[in-house]
Each structure stands twice: as C-alpha cells, then as structure tokens.
Chain A
Amino acid sequence: METKVKSACDTCTHFNADGLKKMGIQTDNVDFVIALAGNPNTGKSTVFNALTGLRQHTGNWPGKTVTRAEGGFEYNKQKYKLVDLPGTYSLLSTSEDEAAARDFILFGKPDVTVIVADANRLERNLNLVLQILEITDKAVLCLNLMDEAKRNHITIDERTLSRDLGIPVVATSARFSEGIIELIHTINEVANGHIICKPHRIKNIPSNIENAVKTLSVEIEKEFPNIPNSRWIAFRLLEGDTEIINALRAGELV
C-alpha cells in the first residue's frame, strides 16, 4: 500500500511514515491491543483494512461483521494488534453482537479503543460513543465518511468536539485512505500516554440517580482504587446486570 504525501502530518518531524508497516494477520508479541468499535455501517472494516493492509470483506449493509477480525500493524517499531468488533448501536442490551463488543472493551482491556463514527449521523452515533467513554478512558474518535459529509454540506468543528468529548478526534475518509496516517499517529500518542484523555461523563441525569451512582462508585473505588470505570459499573449494578455482578465477584473487572 502506498503512502502518498497528502497531509501536514506527513511532513511533520514527529511523524515517521517509514515507520509504518502493515503486518496483515501477524499479531504475535504485540505491544498494544487496539479495539475498533462503532455503529453498524460506519466503515469500521474499511478502517481496519486501511490500517492492517488486510482485505477483510466489506459490504454496504449493517451487521456485516459478525465475527471478530484481528490484524496487525507496526508503527515506529511498536507492534499493534487491531480487533474489529461487531457494529452496535448501544452497549445496554444483551444481544450477542452487543455483548461481544462490550465484553471485549471491558474484559479484553484494549490499550486504545478507536470509536468509528459516521460524520453524517453524529448525534445518533454519539449514543454509543458516550457509553464507551464511561467504560474506558483511552479512546480516539475516528470521524469517518467525511467525504459524504462534505457532499451533504455538513461541517464539524472537530476541535470543539474533541474538547467536549475529552478524547482526540481524527477526521477520515477511510475508503480513500484519507486521514489514516493521522489516525495511526494519534493511536500511537494515546497508547504511549503522550495524550491523556479526560473522557466525557454522562451529565443529564436526574439528581436522585446521580446521587445513587456517586454513592455506589465511591464504594467501588474504595474497593478497587484506580479503576477507570467505577461509574459505569455503578450504572450496571443499578440496572441489575447479573453478568457484571458475577464479574465483580470473580474479580474480572480490575
């Protein structure tokens, strides 16, 4: 795959395009594990292919990826394993694909979660983004399908979006390999701790629930200091999610 000089990043001294190697299905001895999550039909598999050089079959219909695909790439001598999760609208229900995506982000403990969102339908996509940000604090938003957004006369203030969400935002058109280099660079920065995320936490909740969540998450943090997602666990406990209760008992959440 050729790397054309297209963006400012290519000429930037911090970016080393020669350092990028697509490793296909080789995923041995990796330094970082990256999860690829997002709504159905936002181009996750296309992003996956662009990063790994694999040709995971893509198709224009929601629900195409039912099995978890894995691939690798190497950047600046660090090896990355990329896991393409099934597309879901939410993580709150219990269907097989949603559980698969949620369990990987929760138990697989990826070093970075890349959330692929459709720039044309950002509001609907944010539903999943905000849920993922409750679970993990190392995430990158990949604002994909920018070419279509441009055609639809939609402009997105990426900088404000990034500030509101508390995570880096990268605009891409994965079908045309645009923005992929920036995405890799950002993933690298987050994985190595050069960028520290301060993810958005859900705000518009009635005060009685907010208080209950606070009380519970304080207790959870007492038991498990440094846990990144005490609030999310509190949500699930209040919901009565038996899987999470069992995982908590088994100590799988830390």
Chain B
Amino acid sequence: MKNKNIDSIIELSNELRWQIGDDFHDNLTEGIYADAAQIVADTVKVDSSKKRFRLDRQIDKIVTSKTFGFPIMFLILATVLWLTIIGANYPSSLLAQLLLDNVHPILKSGAAAINMPWWLDGFLIDGVYLAVAWVIAVMLPPMAIFFPMFTLLEDFGYLPRVAFNLDSLFRKSGAHGKQALTMTMGFGCNAAGVVATRIIDSPRERLIAIITNNFSLCNGRWPTQILIATIFIGAVVPSAFSSLISLIAVICIAVLGMGFMFGTSWALSKTLLEGQVSTFNLELPPYRPPRFWKTIYTSLIDRTMIVLWRAIVFAAPAGAVIWLISNVYIGNESVAAWTIHSLDGFGFLLGLNGVILLAYIVAIPANEIVIPTILMLTVSVTGIAGGAGAGVMFELDSVNATGDILRAGGWTLLTAVNLMLFSLLHNPCSTTIYTIYKETKSAKWTIFASIMPVILGFIVTFLVAQIWRIIF
C-alpha cells in the first residue's frame, strides 16, 4: 500500500518534470540567488566612503604575477629549507650526545649489572633503543622547525596562491589544478597528501593526484636529502659555499620531483587515464595574520609529535630486524652480509650499492630510518672499527664522522647523487600504500602507485650512473 503511494508520487514527479521543462535547475538556482540578493540588500551595509586600501589585492598582484610568482615561490621554499638545515644542526647534535653518548652506556651497564643475556641486551638496547634514539636525534629538530613554518604559511593563506600559480602547468599535464594543494600537503606527508585528494571531484584526476603524490618529497625524506647533500655535495666546493650548494642541491631534487609529477601526470592522462580536464573555481581567501604562538603550539603538538611517534613506532621493530639480520648467520656469513653481497651487482649498475638497496627494503615501513640503516649496515659489512659490534648503531658525533664511514664503505659523489635521486624515486612508505588502497579501493592502482616510482628510480639512477662513468 505504502509503496504504491510512493510510486504514484514518483510518477507524478516524472509527469510534472515534463511540464516544467528543462530550465528547472537554472530557474531554481536563479531563484535562490534572487532571494539572497534581496536579503542582503535589506541587511548588509558597506561603508564605501572609507577609502579601502586592499592590502590583499596588492599582495596577490605580486605573489601571483607572471614575473614574480615563481621566483617568490622558490625563494620561500629556499628560506624554509635553509632555516631548517641551519637551525636543526645544533639541537640535533645535542640530542645525539644525550641519547647516544650518555643514556646508551648507562643502559648497557645497567643491562650488564642485572646479567641480561647478550642477545637480549643486543636486541633491545643496541637494536630497538638505538634505532629509536637515532630517529629522534635526526628527525625531531628539522621537523620541529619545518612543520611550524609550513603551518604558518598555510594559516597565512599562501597555499591557494601556489595552486593558482601552478594551475596552468597542471592543466597542461592533463591534471586538476587542485592537485597543487595535495602536492603541497605531500611535502609534509604523502599519506596526508593522498587523503587530501578528496577535494578533487573527478575520479580520473583524483587518481592521477594520488599516484603522483609520492613525487612530493615527504618529511621522512627531507632529512636524508639534507644530510647527504651536506656531506657529499657541500664538500665539493669551498666551505664558505657548502651550505648554499647543499641547499641548492636539495631544492633541485624537490623541483625535479615536481617535474616528475607533471611528467607522470601528463603521461597518465595521455594513456591509462585519458580524459578531459575539468574546470573548477578556486577561491583565493583573504590573508589572515596567523595567530603565531597558537600555530606554533598546535603544529608542534599535532603534527610534529604525531609524525615523530609514527617514526618511532616503525623504527623500533626495524632496529630489531637490523640487529637480527646482522647476527643470524647462514654458514659463515650473516643474513645481512649475504643479502648485501647478492644485491651489490645490481646496485653497482644503478650507481648505488647493496647496502642502500637492502636499507630501502628494511625501511619500507618508514623512510625516516633509511640513513641510520645504511650506516649500520655499512659498518657491519666493512668492519670499520668504532662500531660496538655487529648490527649496532653507534654514536655519530658529527656530520663528518658520518661522511667518513660512508666513504670507507666505498661511497663516491655518484653514490650520493644517486641515493638522493633514489630517495625521491622509490615506493611510497607502507602507511602511504595502505592509505592509497583505502582511498582508491583498488588493488590494481595501489600496486601501480607503489611499483611505478621504483621502476622510474631504477631507470633514472641507471642512466645517471652510466653517463657519469662515461664522463668521469
């Protein structure tokens, strides 16, 4: 009975729809706007006698201009990175000193005092504890500087201007202009960038944005880039210029990543994800002076601490795995050494080495621990003195000490350049992969988004290595 009535209502609506014609939607929209205009006319007064200097408009004229838009963008990026690189040094070494030089020996002697078996002591203190300590010392300072600055820019209202500047590039590559926003979020964290793609309506363009988000250097990879650039690329020039040159190198990698993002978007929109570019309107919100201390506080608590916690959660088991593979022997070689030697040949082709490849396998859960893993594995394979034993991360008082170890492990400028490239071009971390699956609900696209960057990374590092070896 009830269903019958509902059917008749629907039938009536179908009938009426024929009678009122095609203009219904437009008429309704016009009606709403007419009502709104009427209400506003009765209630809103704008005092136009006051001379209104629109600071917003003046700023926008400059930051979105054809001439200055891009230089200003790079200048801001460079300033943020420079402050991060310079500012992070001191607290980093302080933390390293505290956690590695002071706390670690105390833990070791404590373990010895209670007669902890050597394997448990190694597993917990040399594996788990040192990995966590390393991640805190290396990651916390740059994050605590980078995130608040990024959040201040975000609160100020600069991000939509970036989207505005980049819009034409995205359109040319067949992608959605709002991808600029998700890309920028990716500079903080790729998983967050992938979630942010929900602002893109078209499924085709959203998929492009999801797949290419990994080309935004995420916060787990900035420290790697900065450290390697400082050790190897900064060392090529006189020390007065070294921080400038390392900064330029890191920016080049970030910009290269954006290049790959445009290139891949373009290739996808011409092949697998062919289709029209959809139009959208982007509101440039007014600039709002950020509430400085509140922003600093929330970004420290919400962003920095959450990301750091995640890094710690993943670093702890990874530290354990590293210790295990270095201490479990097959014949007279440890599992780590055996894997590294079998990966060395392939690594050489790519201008990398077996240690780096194994480190990237161990570090799939979190990009943050690539460098500590590489260092530890290098020491255990080359048998440099100074390490406290197989599979043990050790104190690194300075960037120089890190450089010495890597050079002893056979690293050259080529290894460093290719590591930076491979750090840009490899599979997303497991959190991002899981997020991609949750957002796309497609195993096919998740696998594609995970494998494609690695293949690109192999191709690029291979080409660079071959050309490098021909020239030098």
Once bound together, how far apart are the Cα atoms of A153 and B45, in whole Å? 8
Q: Do the beta carbons of B36 and A66 come within 8 Å of each other?
A: no
Q: What 1/0 flags go to A59-81 for Cβ under 8 Å of B?
A: 11111001100000000000000
Chain A residues, CB < 8 A from B151 = 59
Chain B residues with Cβ below 8 Å from A59 are: 151, 154-155, 159
Q: Within 8 Å of chain B (Cβ to Cβ): is A21?
A: no
Task: Encode B1-37 as 1/0 by CB contact (under 8 A) with A.
Answer: 0110110111011001101100011011111111111
From the candidates A63, A120, A154, A220, name the one contacting B9 in the complex (CB within 8 A). Answer: A220
A209-227 interface (Cβ within 8 A of B): 209, 212, 215-216, 219-220, 222-223
| Interface hits, A199-246 → B, CB 8 Å | 200, 202-206, 208-209, 212, 215-216, 219-220, 222-223, 234-235, 237-240, 245
Confirm or deny: A188 has a beta carbon within 8 angstroms of a beta carbon on chain B. no
Say yes or no for B286: interface residue by CB 8 A criterion: yes
Contact yes or no, A202 B32, CB < 8 A: yes
B46 contacts A153, CB within 8 Å? Answer: yes
Give the residues in chain A near B5, CB-CB below 8 Å.
222-223
Query: Is there a chain A Cβ closer than 8 Å to B61's Cβ?
Result: no
The 8 closest A-B pairs by CB, nearest first: A126-B36, A204-B34, A237-B13, A63-B199, A95-B201, A153-B47, A66-B198, A60-B157
B435 to chain A, nearest CB (A): 12
Complex CA–CA separation, A98 to B285 (angstroms): 20
A selection of 20 A-B contacts at a CB cut-off of 8 Å is A55-B302, A57-B298, A60-B159, A61-B154, A62-B160, A122-B40, A123-B36, A126-B35, A126-B40, A152-B46, A160-B43, A164-B42, A203-B34, A204-B35, A209-B27, A212-B16, A223-B9, A238-B16, A239-B24, A245-B10
Residues in chain B near residue A62, CB distance under 8 A = 160, 282-283, 285
Structural contact, B301 and A154, CB atoms closer than 8 A: no
The distance from the CB of A176 to the nearest CB of chain B, in whole angstroms, is 9
The residue from A60, A202, A209 contacting B24, defined by CB atoms under 8 A apart: A209
Tell yes or no: A28 within 8 A of B by CB.
no
Judging by beta carbons under 8 Å apart, are B6 and A202 in contact? no
B52 to A161, Cβ gap below 8 A?
Answer: no
A60 touches B199 (CB 8 A): no
Residue of chain A at shortest CB distance from B299: A57
Question: A91 CB to closest chain B CB, in angstroms?
Answer: 11
Q: Decide if A123 touches B40 in the complex (CB within 8 Å).
A: yes
Interface centre among B6, B25, B154 (most CB of A within 10 A): B6
Question: Which chain B residues lie closer than 8 Å to A200 at the CB level?
Answer: 35, 39
Nearest A residue to B192 by beta-carbon distance?
A: A57
In the assembled complex, the Cα of A8 lies from the Cα of B24 at a distance in Å of 47
B50–A153 contact, CB under 8 A? yes
- A124: chain B residues at CB < 8 Å are 36
Cβ contact within 8 Å between B25 and A239: yes
A126, A222, A240: the one contacting B17 at CB < 8 Å is A240
- Given A58-B155, A59-B154, A157-B42, CB of A248 within 8 Å of CB of B10: yes
**A148 interfacial by beta-carbon distance below 8 Å:** yes
- Report the minimal beta-carbon distance from B262 to chain A, rounded to whole angstroms: 21
- From B12, B35, B283, A202 is in contact (CB under 8 Å) with B35
Task: Given A41-B283, A58-B155, A123-B36, verify A205-B31 contact (CB < 8 Å).
Answer: yes
Compute how far the CA of A187 lies from the CA of B38 in the bound complex, rounded to whole angstroms: 27
Interface mask (A140-153 → B, CB under 8 Å = 1, otherwise 0):
00000000100011
Question: Is B32's CB under 8 angstroms from A66's CB?
Answer: no
Which single residue of chain B is at the shortest CB-CB distance from A248? Answer: B6
Q: Would B154 and A60 count as touching, CB distance under 8 A?
A: yes
Question: Assuming the A-B contacts A202-B28, A223-B5, are A60 and B12 also in contact, with contact meaning beta carbons closer than 8 angstroms in the complex?
Answer: no
Interface class of chain B by DSSP: helix
A103-129: contact bitstring with B at CB < 8 Å (1 yes, 0 no)?
000000000000000001011101100
Nearest CB on A from B427, distance (A): 24
A96 at the interface (CB under 8 A from B): yes
**For the complex, what is the distance from the CA of A216 to the CA of B39, rounded to whole Å?**
27
Tell me if A60 and B156 are in contact (CB < 8 A).
Answer: yes
CB-contact partner of A206 in B19, B27, B45, B291, under 8 A:
B27
The B-contacting residues of A in range 174-206, CB under 8 angstroms, are 175, 200, 202-206
| Max chain B Cβ within 10 angstroms of own Cβ: one of A57, A61, A92, A126 | A61
Interface centre among B34, B151, B288 (most CB of A within 10 A): B288
A97 at the interface (CB under 8 A from B): yes
Chain A residue nearest in CB terms to B151: A59
Given A126-B35, A153-B50, A160-B43; 8 other pairs, CB 8 A cutoff: A59-B155, A66-B195, A124-B36, A130-B36, A203-B31, A206-B31, A209-B24, A248-B9
Return chain A residues, CB-CB under 8 Å to B40. Answer: 122-123, 126
B residues near A208, Cβ cutoff 8 Å: 19-20
In Å, the complex CA distance between A188 and B392 comes to: 61
A108 to chain B, nearest CB (A): 19
Are B33 and A55 closer than 8 Å at their CB atoms?
no
Kindly state the separation between the CA atoms of A123 and B24 in the bound complex, as whole angstroms: 22
Indicate whether A40 reaches chain B with its CB closer than 8 angstroms.
yes
